[in-house]
Structure 1
Amino acid sequence: MTKVLVVDDDENILTTLQIHLEDLGLAVSLARCGREGIEIFRRLQPEIVLLDLKLPDMDGMDVLQELSTAGAKSFVAVITAYATIDTAVQAIKLGAFDYLPKPFTPAQVSHLIEMINRVRGLESEVQTLKEKLKGVLQEGDFITASRNVRSILRTVRQVADSDANILLSGESGTGKGVLARLIHSWSPRKDGPFITVDCAALQENLLESDLFGHVKGAFTGAIRDKVGKLELANGGTVFLDEVSEMSPAVQAKFLHFLQYREFERLGDVRTIHVDLRVIAATNRELEERVQEKLFRKDLFYRLNVVEIFMPPLRERPEDIPLLAEHYLSLFAKQNNKNVSRITEQARDSLRAYPWPGNIRELINVIHRGTILSRDKCLSIEDLPQHIAHYRASAQHGEELASLADIERLHIRKVLLHTTSLEEAAQVLGIDPTTLWRKRKKYQLD
């Protein structure tokens, strides 16, 4: 029960306030002079104090000064018939919450108590959020509370200042692209361009043209000169996504570029020199690709000066609610939806699910849920059934399956309920090339 201390020498006011405050459900203590008020305050540490500025033994401002230095967190409202602007300002400076001149009505006192309780509630929420956010690191869309990931970021900060090539490895959808942008923003090249090249999305001749550019007539369809992305990235960073899918011919030409920082556009003899930083990413084991003669060993060593491994989302469960709330806020604004939080039941289901598509799949699920939600909260009914029921299925003793089995069954279900590979990839939150490889891996043709 909230404790209130009333300090006043007027018996009528004391009696009136006691009756009214007790009717509001508050525990009331009374003091008839300043020193008694200070003694009761130190002993009971009430949450709210109503203090008269005109007391028989000492000035109310001195009492307020004593209360403010006593160490307890209380809301003090000054009440007096001797109201002036100067005393109001002085009281606020000494820590008073509000200023209420006599005579006052019960409605005014009720409103004051309501305002104090509202502020107390907000302060409690802020404190709760502060406790939750201890150990949380956020840089733009990169959010983590994982000790492992924060350790990775300490390494990233060290290497960001250098020009060393960096290889980001990890499963698809773990945030390697976001991390690459973070590295660029922490580097001396942050004011330069950040250019992404998707090595899996283009055929060999198109990827070569995308990287190095071409001149008019270099090949069929080259109707005008084109500046390559390496040239566009001059002074900044080029990010090679899915570098494992680069063809042998392009690998050879890119290796030459890494050695000499020069290249020629397709169909041109003019040499172009650029100054840039290379960050590459792969969701496949490049060393295995080297052993299989599908990736050049010398290129692997050139790219892998520093390797950063991004763990899958299932190995950092503390990040799931953080990321979910971040993207809920983002998508609510984008879609003009009044959805501000996630219910505990939905949160538990999100934590329990193994997320084979990692962060990309989580983003897709939150985007979908935000759009479908009809309330101010994203509930378990707004989640896909395979996620909403995953926790319940495990609790009811269904046979546990490996992550690969779960991924295979889920991909199969999505493929059956979509009309194209691109649509299925969008539902899963992965790129079509990755889905194509997984479909081959699980023999879902």
Structure 2
Amino acid sequence: MVDKVLPQENLTLLSVQGWVRIQHLCLHFANVSVGTPPLWFLVALDTGSDLFWLPCNCTSCVRGLKTQTGKVIDLNIYELDKSSTRNSVPCSSNMCKQTQCPSSRSSCQYEVEYLSNDTSSSGFLIEDVLHLITDNDQTKDVDTHITIGCGQVQTGVFLNGAAPNGLFGLGMENVSVPSILAQKGLISDSFSMCFGSDGSGRITFGDTGSLDQGKTPFNLRESHPTYNITITQIIVGGYAADHEFHAIFDSGTSFTYLNDPAYTLISKKFNSLVKAVRHSPLSPDSELPFEYCYDISPDQAIEVPFLNLTMKGGDDYYVTDPIVPVSSEVEGNLLCLGIQKSDNLNIIGQNFMTGYRIVFDRENMNLGWKESNCTDEVLSNTRPISKSNSPAVSPAIAVNPVARSEPSSNNGRFSPSQSFRMKASFAYMVLLFSLIAIF
């Protein structure tokens, strides 16, 4: 969605993506541990915004998730009087963007509006401990104070499944999680996100990438900097078109959005080359969000042309899987070109990041990428991930957000026992993760 110095170590956050029915959201989520005593929150990972906020003493928020079987999983709500390590953030703090302060000691109020219609989070800023778990016996686990939005009121898609239990801001501004970790000297000012083709993934703070990766510079602006890059050429199935445009790499957006002429250049050439029968929507009220979809059957093979985006500097970014499998009760199972037409920003969404380890190098101000399966990758400054303590991925949990004034008492809270841990062999930040489909 678009809005005492320790050794510099790599801190790894693990997450899993769940692909779901087309009318709903598919985002990477991770369990993060905050406060004293620690509470777990299932947060969406978002490079398109900066603030890390949690539902907190809220009057408008999601309090639980309902599975397809009707079971309700209660989500934790941060309560100001329950954490002994919580501090207030005054209006005079450099983390505060409030333009007018009643007094220097008054709390810093915030309101963040997102590109999705009528979607926002508002409340005030606090500080509390984020628990960074390492698996190196020689290194103690790191607990560090971090700025958090006490989200009292959420609106829009936040009440319909996007970030039901908080948003983990990974943007460029000083209030974001990687910015704070770098300012404290915990990591170098860079991180990577790896998007596996099987839906699994991980985020590694401090990862600066490798010498053999592709890269392109960020386009920076003083007000609200983003991970914005320049694409200079589009190639579909060997047909090249020179066209320069800017796009934001945004892990908080499920699919890719492009303006014309880029959208039409890609979609029409793709449609002319794909070997498949195009699906015709049954009615103008079709729920399909994609313009170019294709019927599939058990005995049919679909051949799709390759798609390459040439980045500024000349390095190629091959989209490993431009096709998105979707399911509709009305129109059946389809394969669609995972691009939607935009009338504002160009956004490279999660689907175009699949199969890559994307490096957000904020120190050198460039984006890096390298193909990866997210399990066997050996980072340039770490030892490999150990898989000896990693159980198999559990099935996806299909859920609906449940907005209530009081949590249900019928079922236990969403707890670490419902997820699993992947051990790291270096000093990573290791957090629990779950595969969840939001309906």
TM-score under structure 1 length normalisation:
0.21
Relative to total residues, which structure has the larger helix share, 1 or 2? Answer: 1
Greater Rg over alpha carbons, structure = 1
Relative to total residues, which structure has the larger strand share, 1 or 2? Answer: 2
TM-score under structure 2 length normalisation:
0.21
Report 1 or 2 for greater relative contact order, CA contacts < 8 Å, sequence distance ≥ 6. Answer: 2
